[in-house]
Amino acid sequence: MNESTTNQGSDCNGAGKTLGSVAGELKSESDRLVQLTAQVEADQKLIAALTTERDRFRRLAHAWAAKQCDERQPPVPDSDVQTLANEENALPLGAFIEELERIAQGNG
């Protein structure tokens, strides 16, 4: 063997690294990427499961709160709302909206 053939195996990139050490680094990084990919996939499955559980809990909580409100405060009949509006000198809906728009524009 000549000297140039022998040196190719020990110093291929001119920076002092051998092919074996570069291959070892690549293998190590490849293994790390495989582990990170597996962790990301596991995290995504966990997030999906937690999102499903959160949505289920939210529906149950809203249903429970609505039931509590219905049990504690019966609905107000329309006739009572009208009586209350008359007692409070409430504006008709159109006039009320116009007043809100004037206030929003700074003219109220």
17 CB-contact burial (10 Å; exposed 0-12 / middle 13-18 / buried 19+): middle
Q: What is the pLDDT of residue 55?
A: 97
Q: What are 28-73's pLDDT values in tens digits?
A: 999 999 999 999 999 999 999 999 999 999 999 999 998 888 778 7
Instruction: Please state the domain extents for the chain.
Output: 19-74, 76-108
Q: Helix (H, G, I), strand (E, B), or coil: what is residue 88?
A: coil
pLDDT tens-digit series, residues 26-35: 999 999 999 9
Highest mean pLDDT: which range of 14-18, 29-33, 78-82, 90-94: 29-33
Q: What are the angstrom distances between the C-alpha of 61 and each of 10, 33, 55, 77?
A: 68, 41, 10, 27
90 neighbors 96 (Cβ within 8 angstroms): yes
- CA–CA dist 84, 22 (Å, integer): 84
Q: Is the pLDDT of residue 13 over 80?
A: no
